[in-house]
Chain A
Amino acid sequence: MSTYLIYAVGGALIFSIGTYALLAQRHIMHKVIGANIMGSGIFMVLIALGKRTPDGVTDPVPQAMVLTGIVVTVALTALGLSIAKRYYTLTGLDDLDQDPPACDGR
């Protein structure tokens, strides 16, 4: 079994853990963290699959894709946190189980 497979399957595992957190957790912060964990899993799969070259030189294309993905993750996290914070400011709630009280749209 090649070494890269450990990392690729591990990445798939991390991705599914993040998916579970995103779907099952009700606290908004947990959802944001879950989305981040999903991203990390995808990066790990991509980097691992770039290591399959016969000469051992890593394929640069997945690396570049992960670099792009990291920046997109930063944007996603910042937007998610901002929405969570605005939601908390307006409703006083930090989870999605309860319906927010009527909001005057400040």
Chain B
Amino acid sequence: MRDRIRVVPLVAAIALFAIISSTVLDLPRESAGLSEEMIGGAAAIHVNNVVTAVLLDFRGYDTLLEISVLMLATVAVLSLRDPRLGTRRRLTGTADLILRSLGEAVTPIMMVVAGYLVWVGSTKPGGAFQAGAVLGAGGILLALTGWVRPSWARHSVIRLVLSVGLLAFIAVSVTPILAGRTLLDYSDDMRHIVLLILESILTLSIGASMLSLFLASASGGEEDEEAS
């Protein structure tokens, strides 16, 4: 039964392939797209990395909605957790000395790398999401090597860190409206420093989101298997 080819999905997939590839083949073979406008615009706002300029400035809506989606998914995943399981548990049964030392040695380096990626984002490939991913990966490494959430990191603190990125982004997006401009239309004199601060806050939130997504999905697996 598992290996039977299902006709309707197969026809749908082939039809989709035909539609997409014929559309792609139909497009003009050469098109400047928006690269000239973007490169000129990035120079005008003194952000040297064009992709960063597109992400945070020209298509700021995308990034605002992206961080909202991430936040929404985190809230949904956290609320899907099994309520019978405690949250302050070790993920791995035994905290091996070598594993623990590895986590303790590598995580500070990952934090420095995350900071560097935020800083370098305005001139080279990098930025908040990459830095947040590195930060979250560091947290996941710590969790896998037997680290338990410290007692100062209460739920209220975690929720604050999770939401502060979206809240800061909304604040930065709405401020231009109060000054009589449109949404996400940053003023020129403060742009660079505001975007840098915003990226740093976003990095913390994104890292926390990644870690929460992982921990919430990973917790309790072993117990369930033993119980069944």
- The reply to whether A52 and B30 contact each other, CB–CB distance below 8 Å, is yes
Which residue of B is nearest A51, CB measured? B33
**B155 CB–A CB distance under 8 Å:** no
When A64-B51, A67-B129, A74-B213 are in contact, do A12 and B77 touch as well, CB less than 8 Å? Answer: no
**Cα–Cα distance between A74 and B66 once the two chains are bound (Å):** 11
- The reply to whether B29 and A52 contact each other, CB–CB distance below 8 Å, is yes
Interface string of A52-94 (1 = CB under 8 A from B): 1111011111111101101110111011011101101100100
With contacts defined as CB atoms under 8 Å apart, how many contacts are there between chain A and chain B in the complex?
149
Interface string of B47-69 (1 = CB under 8 A from A): 00011011100010011001001
Min CB distance A73 to B, Å, is: 10
Interface string of B1-19 (1 = CB under 8 A from A): 0100110111011101100
Chain A residues in 8 Å Cβ range of B206 = 71
Chain B residues in 8 Å Cβ range of A79 = 73, 76-77
- Max count, chain A CB within 10 A of own CB: residue among B216, B217, B220: B217
- The reply to whether B30 and A71 contact each other, CB–CB distance below 8 Å, is no
- The reply to whether A71 and B129 contact each other, CB–CB distance below 8 Å, is yes
**B180 CB–A CB distance under 8 Å:** no
- The reply to whether A82 and B63 contact each other, CB–CB distance below 8 Å, is no
Chain A residues in 8 Å Cβ range of B216 = 82
- The reply to whether A72 and B66 contact each other, CB–CB distance below 8 Å, is yes
The 16 listed contacts between A and B (C-beta, < 8 Å) are A13-B17, A16-B14, A19-B13, A19-B16, A20-B10, A20-B12, A24-B6, A52-B28, A52-B33, A58-B35, A60-B53, A68-B63, A75-B73, A79-B76, A81-B217, A106-B83
